[in-house]
Amino acid sequence: MNSNMFLMMFGLNPDDFEPGNEEPIECDNGYIIDLIQKVQKNKRICPECGSTKCYVKGRYIANYKDFSPNGKLFYFNVTRLRLKCEVCGKTFSPQLHGLAPYSIYSKNVISKIIDELKTKATFSMVAKRYKVTVAFVIKLFDETYPYVPRGNLPEILCIDEFYFSRESEHKYCCCLVDFKNRELLDIVESRQKEYLDDYFNKISFNERDTVKYFVSDMFEGYERIKNKYFPNSIHIVDLFHVISLLTNTLNSVRLNVLKQRGTNEIYDKFMKTFWDCFLCKFEKIPDKYYSPQTDDGATYHYCDMVTDCVKLDEDFWEGWNVLQDLLHYRWYGTYDESLLFIENISKRLKDTNNELLQKVGQSYHKWRYEIANGFTKNSYHIHISNGIAECINNNIKTIIKLSYGYRNFERFRKRCLIMYLYNK
């Protein structure tokens, strides 16, 4: 393969060069190509006055780097021309297609690095892959993306938080997600009141009024944001958080029962080992038999063991029954039916003697209208939840873990938007 074919492979124009050597010279870590810049007289145009009366004043050697598709490093030693204008006296070097000015890397390398930054690869990973410094990659990213705008507010807006920093003000960031298009719209620096007010105050009322459904968890700050900035939207509490609140509490109740009672060794071991059987639908319990190491060699079905264990404590039994009713509730009913159901299970939990279950019942009662909206059949005839936001949150957490955290929030925000919104 001659030098011209190499030039075309790296995005360079062979008409701009004369080969200094016919074949690339192999070195320890790649290949060396010597090139001589050539500029026809009619293309020697002064950038200052536009005159074509320019002559060659001198030459100098510039070095550039690039990578082939198989990862081989190529060094281009280019003998550049320095021209001088006879009219205005301006001294300049003609620009070359494919070579970035004031950089030792070709535009091809820079383009590859920018494309890599659209993936989950960290700045350090990209720098190592292309044998450049991390500071160069960060500088290139900041210059390429000085400003990344947010996405427009959708009809179904999901909001959720994720852990970002140890700092109290920026411990949890908020992500805004378009439920229908499954896209990340923006990331707010903090879920605290001041940051959320400052963010949503900058959005026009007409754009905020397009939001028909506001989906969140049971965080009081989101309720205030919804009432203040999205008064005409329907507030939906994600049912995943509703169910997980009761399952986590019921799991704590199970541990308390173990500490207080624990008189039956068979039940004690089963409750410790097969804790997940107490937090799922009854029909999802494995169709297996539990064989404790006893003298009689008796076996017990998992369903029977779960039933016997929850009956050890009256509150445990009532909480487990409420969880089963919640897991088996028929979604997409009317609003009145859903509201009556939530009020019923809230009362049942508050009537127990267990403080943990009582707090869950109080939370259900406080958020009963928003929870009922989640159960109710909506105008889109789909189940609206925060599942898309949770999925994007997991991806964002992966980015943070790979890079061992971010110090610059704005740079982190731009990377996330480029990966999950503009990269499509």
Domain boundaries, the chain: 3-99, 104-144, 156-238+385-422, 239-375
Query: Given this model, what pLDDT does residue 300 score?
Result: 85
More confident residue, 43 or 357: 357
Average pLDDT over residues 155-167: 88
β-partners of residue 183 are 178
Average pLDDT over residues 83-110: 78
Least confident stretch, 134-138, 173-177, 234-238, 264-268: 264-268
Phi, psi of 378 (to 5 degrees): -100, 180
Cβ distance 389 to 158 under 8 Å? yes
Mean predicted lDDT score pLDDT of the chain = 85
**pLDDT higher than threshold 80 for residue 375:** yes
β-partners of residue 175 are 160, 187
Quick: pLDDT tens for 72-95. 777 777 888 888 888 888 888 877
Going by pLDDT thresholds of 50, 70 and 90, the confidence category of residue 229 is: very high
Average pLDDT over residues 389-401: 88
Query: Given this model, what pLDDT does residue 347 score?
Result: 95
Average pLDDT over residues 65-69: 69
Say whether domain 156-238+385-422 belongs to CATH 3.40.50.800: no
Residue type, 120: K
Quick: pLDDT tens for 310-365. 998 899 999 999 999 999 887 667 888 889 999 999 999 999 999 999 999 999 99
Between 239-260 and 368-375, two packed helices, what is the crossing angle to 10 degrees? Answer: 120
Query: Given this model, what pLDDT does residue 7 score?
Result: 66
Q: What b-and-e string marks burial along 51-84, b requiring 16 or more CB atoms within 10 Å of the CB?
A: eeebeeeeeeeeebbbbeeeeebbbbbbbbbebb
Going by pLDDT thresholds of 50, 70 and 90, the confidence category of residue 165 is: confident
Give the Cα separation of 267 and 311 in Å (integer).
Answer: 11
Phi, psi of 108 (to 5 degrees): -65, -45
Average pLDDT over residues 50-63: 83
More confident residue, 361 or 17: 361
Cβ distance 332 to 382 under 8 Å? no
Average pLDDT over residues 290-307: 82
**pLDDT higher than threshold 60 for residue 2:** no
**pLDDT higher than threshold 80 for residue 242:** yes
Give the Cα separation of 409 and 399 in Å (integer).
Answer: 13
More confident residue, 23 or 199: 199
Query: Given this model, what pLDDT does residue 70 score?
Result: 62
Residue indicated by tokens 């259900």 = 364
3-state helix, strand, coil in the chain (%, to 5): 45, 20, 35
Q: Are strands 25-27 and 156-163 parallel, antiparallel or unpaired?
A: unpaired
